[in-house]
Structure 1
Amino acid sequence: MGKKKVAVLVGGGPAPGLNGVISSVTLESIQRGYEVVGIYNGFKWISSASFDPKVHTIALDRKVVDGIHFKGGSILGTARDSLIKNGKIDTEKVNNVKKAMEILDIGYLVTTGGDDTAFSASIVSKEIKNFYVAHVPKTIDNDLPLPGEMPTFGFQTARELGTDLLKNLLEDARTTGRWYFVVAMGRSAGHLALGMGIAAGATLTIIPEQFGDGKTTLKSVCDIIEGSMLKRKLQGMDWGIAVVAEGVAYKFGDFDQLEKVLGRPIPKDPHGHPRLAEVPLGDLLKREIENRYAEREQKITIVTKDIGYELRCADPIPFDIEYTRELGYGAMDFLLGDDYNADFKEAGAMISLVEGNLNPIPFHQIMDPDSGKKTIRLVNTYSYNYKVARAFMTLLQPNELNNPDQLSKLSSIAKMDEITIKKHFETLPRI
C-alpha cells in the first residue's frame, strides 16, 4: 500500500483518555515513518457531501500532540454520527467516506468510540478494499465485555472523580443531617454506580442487575431505600447517600404509578414504548419517599443529584494515561506491524489487551451483524466483589421484620404499628 497516511477520529460520547489514544497513535505512526491526519467530529464530516479537508481535518505531529495525554476531552472533538440509517447501512455516507479517504490519501484508520462508532468502523473496513481499520473501544460505563475482565478506558478515572464527589456529598449529608439520592450514569449496567458507591462508602447502591432479567416497580425500589433510611436511623444516623444507576428506570413496569408520582404522562416512542430516558429518576424517588414521610407526619430533607457528565472529560488518572497509550500503540502495531497478515488486517479489529499483551479481535467476532451492537458486560451479582459491596451497605432485610426486638424499634422510628410496618414492607426485595 506504500506510504499512505494514517487517520484517527473519535466518535460517541467523551471519556477520559481520548487524547492519550490520539497522542500514541500519532507518535507511533510518525516513529514508523507515516503522516497522520486528525479527523474532526467522528464520522460527521467525512460521511457528508460537504466534507472540506481544510476545515474538517488537522495534520497531527509531535508538536500538536505534545502533552495532550494529560488532558481530558478530545482535541478532535467527537460526534455521534454513524453510517447507519433506519437500521441499514447508509450507502451514500459510506461512499462519502470512501471519497474522503481517497482525497486525504488515507490507508489506515483508527477509530475510538462506542457501539455505533465500532459498527461504522466495521462497515468501512468491509466496504473499502485494501484499507485497514482498528477500533479502540471506550466508555465510562465499563459495560463492554473485554477479555481478561479489563476495564474500558476512562472508567477508572470516572470512578475516581465520582468517588470524590460522593465523599463530599457524604460529608455534607453528615453535617446537615440530610439524604442525597444520587443517580449515576449507566443505562445498561451498574459498574460505575457500584464502583463509586463501594469506594465512597455510600449507604446503599441500587443497580439494574440486582433485579435479574425481570422488571421491578417504583414501590419496590423505594421500599429498599426507605428500609435503608429507617435502619440507618436505628443505628443513630439520620442521613446518608443512596446511589442509583440510571438503568434502574429501564426496569420499571408500573407506568401508571410512575405517571401518577411524576404528575404528567411519560412520552412514548413511535413503537409505543415509554421513553424512560425522559423520566427524572432522582425526582421520582424523592417525591415518593417524601410522600411516605409526610403521611407519617415526619420531616425529611432529600436532595437529588445526577453524576455523569462531570466525569466524561476529566483529566485521566495515571492508569488511564498508561492504558490509552498502550491501546493507541497497539492499534498501530496491528495496522503497521508484521505480526498480522493482510487478510486479518483488512477484516479490521477491535484493539484489546490480555495480560499485558496486544489482543486484536476481528470485527466479525464481536459485532452483531443485525444490530451492530456488542454484548453488554453486566455486574455479576454472584461475584465475590458484589458480595463484599453488599456487605457494607445498610439494607433492611425481610427477615429482620420477624425479629420482635428489631420490629419494635423500627415501628417506633417509622411511627407505624408493628402490623402496619410488616404489611408496608411485605414485598421488600432482598438485594
Structure 2
Amino acid sequence: MENTPVPYYPTTGNRRSQRVGIATSGGNAPALNAVIHGATQELNLRGHEAVGIPKGWDGMIERQRLIRLCDLSHEKLMALVYTGGSELRNCRTKIGYEHFPKLKRVIDGYGLDGIIMIGGDDTLGQAARLNRQKVLQPVHERNNRNTSMFIGVPKTIDNDVEGTEQTFGFESAVQAVRRQVIDMKTDTRTMRRLGVIEVMGRDAGHIALHAGYAGGADITLIPEFEIPAKEVANRVADILLEQEYCVICVGEAYGGAEGNEADGFGHKNKQDAGKKLIALLKEQLKTHPKLRKRRLHNVGTSLQVVGYDARDGSPVAFDSILGGQFGGLAAHLADREKYGRMVSLQNGEITHIALSRAKGGRVVTELEYDPVTMRMWNIPKGVVPVVLRARRKAERAMRGHPA
C-alpha cells in the first residue's frame, strides 16, 4: 500500500482558493523579483492563484492584462530569486480621488480576492488609504469579514520606512557603494587627492553610513547630522597631513542639497551635495597653515556620484533571502485572510504590523552615527549611551557646571 504524502500545508475548515494579485511600484530595488518569487511559490503551494498586475498603479488604472504568475515554469520562477529589477515593472503614479471609480471597476473586473503590494512608503501609504476608505472590495466575502484589499511589503534601498528595521535591497545598495568607496581610495591614495563619493538615500543617511564604514571612508557625512564646515575641514586637514589623501562618503541630501525637479509625491531630487562640499572644503583648506607648509593646501579633488547603479544590479544573497521570505509571509497572510497588514523585520525576526503604520522618515540616530569621529560607531548600539553620557558629563565640567 502506497503512503499518501502529507500536504505542504494541511488546512482545516472551509478554506476557499483565492485569486491574489501581486504588484510592484515606486523606484527599483534589488530583490523585487525575489519577493515575487516567494509570494508566488507560497500561494501556489497553498492552492491559490497568483496573478501579476503589470506597471503597478498604472496597470490597474489602464486595465493591463494580468500575468498568470501561477503558470510560470519552475526555471523562470527560480530565476526570479537572483535577478534584478521587477518582471512586473513599476510606476510612480500618485492615486487621487479621481482614480477611485476606475480603480474599483478594474479591480472588480479582475476578480481579485486581494493584492500584495510591494513598494515604498508612498506606495504603501496609498494602499493603506484605499483600505481605510474601503474603495476596493474582495470579490468574495471572507470568513473573518475582513474587507481590506492590500497586504504591504516595504521596499526601498534607502531603508527609511518606519515599522521595519530593514528593507530588502538595502544591503545590495550598500555593497555597490562600498565597492565605489574602495575604488576611490585606490585612486586618491595613488594620486594624493581628496575624493568625495555622493550617495543616494534621499533624506536618510543609512546607505552612506554603512557603505562608508564598510569601505573604509575616512569621513562620512549624512543629512541627519550637519557638522560645521570648519570642523570637517580641520578633520580633513589632519588626515591629509598624515596620509596625503582623504576619502569622504556623503549623503545626497547633506547640506540641504536640493534640485528643482519633484516627483508626483512632492519629493524634490537631490543634487550637487558632493560638488558643494568640495568647493566648501577647498575654500577652507587653502588657508590652513600646516597644509600650506606641506604644499597640500591645493590638493587635487575627485568626485564620484553613485546614482541608479546602486539599485540596478542583482541582489546580494541577504536581500534575495529577505525578499523571498517577505513575499512568502505576505502569501501566508493572504492565505489566512489577514489583509491590511505589512510585512516587517522586528528584532531580527520577520513578522507583520498594521499597514496603516507604513510611512517614511526612518533616519540615522545618535546611536548609529558619531559626529566626533564623523563615522559609524565602532561599538554596538547598547554601549553607545555609556559613551554619550561620559561626553556630556565632561562637557558640563568644562563649562564649569557640576556633574
For normalisation by structure 1, the TM-score amounts to 0.71
What is the one-letter code of the residue matched to 1:163? R
Matched, 1:194 2:209: yes
- In the other structure, the counterpart of 1:408 is none
Deviation sequence 1:23-53 (CA, Å, 0-9, x none): 1111111111222211122101312xx4342
How far the C-alpha of 1:241 sits from its partner, in A, is 0.8
Q: 2:273 aligns with which of 281, 286, 302?
A: 281
Matched, 1:362 2:354: yes
> What secondary structure sits across from 2:63 in the alignment?
coil
Change (3 A) 1:128 1:391: closer
- Cα separation, 2, equivalents of 1:382 and 1:355: 16
- In the other structure, the counterpart of 1:139 is 156
Sequence identity percentage: 28
Change (3 A) 1:391 1:116: closer
Deviation sequence 1:26-85 (CA, Å, 0-9, x none): 1111111222211122101312xx4342xxx322133142311111111111111121xx
- In the other structure, the counterpart of 1:352 is 344
- Cα separation, 2, equivalents of 1:375 and 1:154: 16
> What secondary structure sits across from 1:180 in the alignment?
strand
Matched, 1:95 2:101: yes
Maintained 8 Å contact 2:251/2:273: no
Q: 1:231 aligns with which of 216, 238, 241?
A: 238
- In the other structure, the counterpart of 1:26 is 40
Taking the TM superposition and a 5 Å limit, the aligned residue runs for 1:122-271 are 122-125=128-131, 126-130=134-138, 132-147=149-164, 150-211=165-226, 220-221=228-229, 223-235=230-242, 237-250=243-256
How far the C-alpha of 1:278 sits from its partner, in A, is 5.6
Change (3 A) 1:385 1:323: farther
Change (3 A) 1:187 1:356: closer
- In the other structure, the counterpart of 1:334 is 333
- In the other structure, the counterpart of 1:428 is none
Change (3 A) 1:356 1:170: closer
Matched, 1:72 2:84: yes
- Cα separation, 2, equivalents of 1:248 and 1:384: 14
- Cα separation, 2, equivalents of 1:387 and 1:65: 48
Count of paired positions: 338
- Cα separation, 1, equivalents of 2:248 and 2:286: 20
- Cα separation, 1, equivalents of 2:92 and 2:261: 23
What is the one-letter code of the residue matched to 2:175? E
- In the other structure, the counterpart of 1:3 is 17
> What secondary structure sits across from 1:335 in the alignment?
helix
> What secondary structure sits across from 1:193 in the alignment?
helix
Maintained 8 Å contact 1:12/1:113: yes
Change (3 A) 1:267 1:52: closer
How far the C-alpha of 1:285 sits from its partner, in A, is 1.9
For normalisation by structure 2, the TM-score amounts to 0.76
- Cα separation, 1, equivalents of 2:277 and 2:370: 27
Matched, 1:376 2:390: no
- Cα separation, 2, equivalents of 1:107 and 1:386: 50
How far the C-alpha of 1:357 sits from its partner, in A, is 5.0
Which sits farther off after the overlay, 116-125 or 318-327? 116-125
What is the one-letter code of the residue matched to 2:135? E
- Cα separation, 2, equivalents of 1:22 and 1:34: 14
- Cα separation, 1, equivalents of 2:377 and 2:40: 46
Q: 1:38 aligns with which of 52, 74, 77?
A: 52
What is the one-letter code of the residue matched to 2:94? S
Maintained 8 Å contact 2:257/2:272: no
The Cα RMSD (Å) is 2.8
> What secondary structure sits across from 1:46 in the alignment?
helix
Change (3 A) 1:386 1:107: farther
Unaligned runs of 5+ residues in structure 1 are 84-89, 253-265, 270-274, 368-373, 393-431
What is the one-letter code of the residue matched to 2:181? L
Maintained 8 Å contact 1:225/1:242: no
Q: 1:290 aligns with which of 282, 294, 300?
A: 282
- In the other structure, the counterpart of 1:260 is none
- Cα separation, 1, equivalents of 2:346 and 2:261: 42
Change (3 A) 1:268 1:191: closer
How far the C-alpha of 1:231 sits from its partner, in A, is 0.4
What is the one-letter code of the residue matched to 2:21? A
Maintained 8 Å contact 2:192/2:299: no
Unaligned runs of 5+ residues in structure 2 are 1-14, 139-147, 379-403
Deviation sequence 1:178-222 (CA, Å, 0-9, x none): 1211111122221110101111110100112223xxxx7xxx33x
- Cα separation, 2, equivalents of 1:232 and 1:288: 17
> What secondary structure sits across from 1:316 in the alignment?
coil
Give the helix-richer structure, 1 or 2: 1
Taking the TM superposition and a 5 Å limit, the aligned residue runs for 1:109-120 are 109-120=115-126
Maintained 8 Å contact 2:195/2:246: yes
- In the other structure, the counterpart of 1:402 is none
- In the other structure, the counterpart of 1:370 is none
